[in-house]
Structures are given as structure tokens and as C-alpha cells.
A and B are shown apart, each in its own frame.
Chain A
Amino acid sequence: MSGRTPVEGADVCVVGAGPAGGIVADRLAADHEVVVLEAGPRFDPAERTDRQERAIRPAYDRPDVWEMGGPRDAHSASGERFYPLNHARVKGIGGSTLHWQGMVMRLHEDDFNSGSARGVGPDWPVDYADLRPYYAEAERELGVSGADDNPYAPPREEPHPMPAFPPSYSDSLFAEACEELEIDMHSVPNARNSEPYDGRPECVGYGTCQPVCPSGAKYDATTHIESAAARGAMVIDRAPVQRLEHDADRVTAAVYATPDGERHRQEADAVVVACGGVETPRLLLLSESTDYPDGLANSSGLVGRLFMDHLFAGAGGVLEEPTRQNHVGFYTSGCDQFYDDADAEVAPFKLEFFNYAGPSPVETALSADEWGDDLLEGLRDSYGNHVAMGALVEQLPREDSYVGLDPDRTDDHGNPVPDVHWSVGDRALRTIERANEIQTAVLEELGAEIEWVAGPDDTGPAYHHMGTTRMSDDPGAGVVDADCRTHDLENCWVASSSVFPTGGAMNPTLTIAALALRVADHVDGALR
């Protein structure tokens, strides 16, 4: 047996080993025969320091750190804005959390009711109260360090599993300016250990969290995959699923390729698609048939449509005093004060106070044109007094923003590549300006000389892929129902931010984890 052959009599086949697939597999593995099929490799944990070196050295691009790129990961971007897809995901056991930043906020109550509360976009078929216990469980699963000091956060029933990381020195500088402007600062929940948790160590301050945490203090989904395997799940890496075979009502098998060039069929009673917000709709579109000529589970015509990301808004500058940046790679204070002012004209947004503004000396040194004393002098001049703020802004679902298949380009297995056709509407662009106004006001109050502003023209995506298999009670208006089961196929669920009807402005992964736990409950119920 090669270790990559199908498992007979499997109850559940999970496609994708990121946090969504990992959590579903881990939940179900004790009581059911579970198989996980993952397109990418199982990375050796011993290589993480070498990956960290790649993160620092200029010879390597970000996608090189986790070996993204090449024919396997070919993609197109036909929209008005380029979408750098291979900067925005990782393929492998652990998925994109290998690279992620690890900020884990709950969505706000109004985010689930955008249509009725803000007058734009659809309401979700579930609301905050439905997800609230799952959020608490998701915080325990990921290991979240957080505190209760945020008056704008939605109600919670219990403390975070670990105490929050205390504010940074630069947060204390911001605090004076914010107090003057009556802007409230508060801690932020981090999926990284402020103390040892779940067999993983506390954060030791490597400062390269994004794209790699050598210590394991930052959560990544290898944790859940390992746990699932320990409970008996079969995890097959380098096994990209090519197609979901089906009849009119059920998925019958996942057809996957293996490195030896073979193809295999994994049959299972239930299938959970957890390939992230781009590959999930792509796999459904690739699985078209006479029953589903426009793509599997696509009676609504919405598979791949309504693609959303969060938009970045930011500003930064320099002070005439030291600001102590780049000791750690995560931020410790935010501001959600303006979030629930959102309406039809202005989107929700959250503000972030960076601890990693300006250059990191070691990176500057490696691309400088001088060395010796001149280099040291240059480093002293360039490092030490930067400050910066960021923001995430919601974009609405739009007809002209979608993930499709590019008929003219194929991947290493001959399948059409994903085309991320991304466009952004005026409400989001206006909101970026609004965030910039606040950011520049804070920086001016601080006495900073402003050096850059990332506004509507220089915004970019936060790498949160949402909306492409929307959740709705109405089979004509969504791909999955409120339980995240596809309307068309009775044994097929989707665990991903692709089910989000709207995005809010909070990083999505805690909500992905909460929904994944809920999917596991539904699958478990269906199998009993």
C-alpha cells in the first residue's frame, strides 16, 4: 500500500487540510471513518527556521517561503484590479494558516444582518446568537489570547482561553494621541500563545509570524490535522482532488491524483469541501456534468460569483523619538469604535495600531549597497522612529467580482486555472477614505511626519476569500443552506469563508472555524 490509496468504507471525505478541513476532520475522526485529501505537501516542522530565513532574505519572494507558484498554482486575474493569488494562500497540511497573521475577531451582530441593519447586501440565514457558542469553542480550538476590554466587541460569555498580549510601547504613544481625539484603543485577540497552550509553547518573539512562526506559538491547522490523525483519520497529502463524481442528488466519490501519476476514487457517505474561497468554487465548477452543466451544486448559478475580500487602508510616518518597532510580528491594539456606524454609504471598518512599522534592520542590511560602518550608519538612520496604522474595510458582494475558470490556461493536471476577477465598489472606496482621515488625524496628533497613505488608489486585498458559495435559505439565492450543506446535493457540505453572504470587516478565520465546528455537528447528525 502506497499510503495514498483510498480508504474502504469511509464515512466522511474532507477535501482540503486548512483550518476548516482540519477542524471538521478532527471533530468527526473519533466516531467516524474520516479521510482527508490535501493537494499540497506535509511540510517538515524541522525546516521552519530555513523557511524563516527565506522570509528574511531578499532572494525569496513571499510565495517561495511555502513553495507556492509554478504550474500547480497557475492562475489568472482578469478583473480591473490584479489579484496576487499565490501571495494569498498556501497549499499543504495546515493550509493558509501556515502563512497567516493570526488575528481572530468575531464578526459583529450587525454583520449577520447587513440588509436589515445597514440597508445593503443580504442578511445571513444565521445570526450571531446561533454562532455564539461555536465562537467560544473556536477560540478554545485555535487557542486565542484576548481580553475583555473592548466595549465595541459583540457580547461574550466567557473569557478568552489565554490572557491578551499587553500593549506595546508604541501603543502607549498612540494612546496619548487617541485620548486627545477621543478614540478608544483596546486589546486584540491573537491566535498565538501568550502562555503555553495545547502542547504548543508561548510566543518567543521571533517576529516573522507572517509568513512563518518557527516556534509553533502561532496557531496553524497542522495542529488539527495531527489530532485528527491521532484519532484515526487517514490524511493523504499531495492528493489534489480533480473532480467530485456525483449523481443528481449525491456526491459519490472524490477523484484525486497522486505524485506517481495515478488517479484514485475515494468514496464516502458524506463529503466536506474545504478548499478555501477560491479552490472550493473551482472544484465545483470543474465537476460539471450533464446533471449540472454549469458546475456541481450550481443550480443557483452562484458558484464562484460574488467574490469578496477585505480592503487594506493605512498610513504611516516618522516621529522624532524612538518607537521600538519590529520586535514582534503581530499587533496588540486596535479600535472598533467606528465599526457599527456602518450604513448603506459607509462600510464597517476596524483600525489597527502596528508594532512593525518601517524597515526591519536585518532586511534592510541584506539589500543595502554598502557595508561596514556606512551600512551601520544607514541602518541607524532608517530604523527606529516609524509608526503606522492599518485598517480593514468591508466590500459588498458584486456581480462583477467573481472566481471563474480560465479556459485558456491549465494547471499541471490539465485543469483550467482559477481566474480571480476582482472588483470593488464605491462604498468600500469611500470607507477607505474615511479610515485614512482618522489615521492621518491620529498620526498628526502624534506629531508624525506622514510618509505614506494607502488610500483608494493603492489599496490591496487582505487575502480573505469570501462569498463564492453563498449561504442562503433560498436555493435560488445561494449555493449552501444555513447548515452549509449544498442545496443540490444531500451529502455535500462546504466549510469555508466562501459561504459568507457578506464579509464584515473582521478577519474571517475565527468565523470559518466556528462554522466548521457547526458543519461537523451537522455531518455527525446526518451520519447517525
Chain B
Amino acid sequence: MELSRRDAVAALAAIGAGTGAAVHAVDSDDDTAAPPVETLVAAAEVVYPSELSGVEPFVEALAERRAAGDDAHARGVRETVRELDRHAESWYDAPFVELSAADRDALLREVGADTADEDPDGTTAERVRYYVVNELLLALYASPTGGELVGIENPQGHPGGVDSYRQGPGR
């Protein structure tokens, strides 16, 4: 199933934009305020189901809004991505984006993000779960296409109108 531009817009409407405007603010202790698009795309390739296409523009739009600003959320995403990269370098000798899909999957599990409860102020595992894994899963499964994969085209968080709840499975 193909993720669309509309999905990205819908997902962003659902989860807010942090308070991050899509301007690359310069903040003093974070001179790379550019959103870590490639790393998030690389993570999405692991945490999203394989039958999805169009992941890259979707994650790009997400990152522009949620990881590019000077607000706490965007900074949290960038810091956590850098941390993930440090682990990738020390355990696999390459940044996250350069790892094979299997190694990316393994690394995310090795940091503990699979079983951790998300927590923006928690341990590395809890923060990777919050700012990377769940950031991506939230955007997907609150969007119409992500919902549709599961059988709910108007998922919670998506303003999909008041017709779908009345329609039967045949639609």
C-alpha cells in the first residue's frame, strides 16, 4: 500500500507539529538543526511493514515538521538519533543509515527499544522508543493508510469525518 502526501498531512494534523515550525532554527549547542531525515527513513524501513511504499516522502514531511524546529520535541528527536548513531558506530562501525536492514533491526533491539516503554525523559531505550520508533509508528497508524492496513480507515487521531463509523465492512 502506498503512503501519500495526504497521509503525511493527515498524520501531522493528528499529532500536532510539536511547536516546531519548519524553519531550521540555529540553536547554540545543536548546530545541526537539520532534521535527521535519512536516519528516520532508515528506521522506518525497519519498523514499518514491508508492504508499504512511499515511505521516504512521508517520513521527510514528518521530519520537517517534528524534528526540525527549536522546540523540545524536535531537539529530543535529533539528540536521540545522534545517540543511536553513536551506538551504531561503536557496535557496527558505521552510522545507522549505512547498516543493513537486518543490522538496523538488531541494533534497535540491542538498545532495548523493542521492549522499552516510551519515555521522553527516560533511558536510552525509552527515548529511542519515544523519539524514533513510536514517533514513526504514531505517524503511520494515525494516518488513513496505516489505519487501512489494519482495517480502520479513520483511525484515532485522524479527522476522517463521521461517515466511516456508520459503514459496514463491505463499504
Contact = CB atoms under 8 A, between A and B. Distances in A.
Interface of A: 47, 49-50, 52-53, 56-59, 165-169, 172, 194, 202-208, 214-215, 321-322, 324, 326-329, 332, 355, 360-363, 365-367, 369-373, 375-376, 379-380, 383-384
B162 A204 contact: yes
B118 A326 contact: no
B156 A322 contact: no
Given A362-B142, A366-B138, 12 more contacts: A53-B15, A56-B138, A56-B142, A56-B157, A167-B166, A205-B154, A207-B155, A208-B156, A327-B165, A371-B48, A373-B49, A379-B150
Given A169-B167, A203-B162, A204-B162, A58 B118 contact: yes
Interface string B133-160: 1100110111000110111101111111
B18 A50 contact: yes
Contact of A326 (B50, B138, B152): B152
A206 B119 contact: no
B157 A204 contact: no
B114 interface: yes
Contact of B49 (A57, A332, A376): A376
B55 to A, nearest CB: 12
B96 to A, nearest CB: 15
A415 to B, nearest CB: 30
Interface residues of B, number: 50
Nearest to B134: A366
B162 A215 contact: no
A201 to B, nearest CB: 10
A203 B46 CA distance: 36
A365 B165 contact: no
Nearest to B141: A362
A324 B168 contact: yes
Given A50-B16, A322-B169, A207 B48 contact: no
B141 A205 contact: no
B157 A321 contact: no
Contact of A361 (B115, B133, B147, B166): B147
A356 to B, nearest CB: 9
B46 to A, nearest CB: 6
B164 interface: yes
B99 to A, nearest CB: 15
A380 B157 contact: no
B115 A369 contact: yes
A214 to B, nearest CB: 8
Contact of B154 (A59, A207, A376): A207
Contacts of B18: 50
A365 B156 CA distance: 12
A286 to B, nearest CB: 35
Interface string B12-50: 011111110000000000000000000000000011111
B150 A383 contact: yes
A377 to B, nearest CB: 9
Contacts of B158: 205-207
B120 interface: yes
B79 interface: no
B49 A375 contact: yes
Shortest 3 CB-CB distances between A and B: which pairs? A49-B16, A327-B165, A204-B159
Contact of B150 (A53, A167, A380): A380
A205 B168 contact: no
A371 B137 CA distance: 9
A57 B149 contact: no
Contact of B134 (A52, A57, A207, A214): A57
A329 B165 CA distance: 10
24 contacts: A49-B16, A52-B157, A53-B16, A57-B118, A58-B118, A59-B119, A169-B165, A202-B162, A203-B162, A205-B159, A205-B164, A207-B154, A324-B164, A327-B160, A329-B156, A362-B146, A362-B157, A363-B156, A371-B108, A371-B114, A372-B46, A373-B51, A376-B150, A384-B150
A384 B151 contact: yes
Contacts of B115: 369
A328 B138 contact: no
A208 B157 contact: yes
B105 A372 contact: yes
Contacts of B50: 372-373
A340 B164 CA distance: 34
Given A205-B164, A372-B105, A376-B49, A52 B152 contact: no
B156 A49 contact: no
Contacts of A57: 118, 130, 134, 138
Nearest to A380: B150
Nearest to B168: A169
A47 B17 CA distance: 10
A102 B51 CA distance: 39
A327 B16 contact: no
A371 B130 CA distance: 14
B152 to A, nearest CB: 6
Contacts of A202: 162
Nearest to B45: A372
A369 B129 CA distance: 10
A206 B120 contact: no
Given A169-B165, A322-B169, A361-B150, A366 B160 contact: no
A58 B117 CA distance: 8
B22 to A, nearest CB: 16
B9 to A, nearest CB: 13
A64 to B, nearest CB: 12
Contacts of B120: 59
Q: Which one of A207, A208, A329 has the highest number of Cβ atoms from chain B below 10 Å of its Cβ?
A: A207
Contacts of A326: 152, 155-156
A370 B134 CA distance: 11
A208 B156 CA distance: 6
Nearest to A169: B168
A213 to B, nearest CB: 10
Contacts of A324: 152, 164-165, 167-169
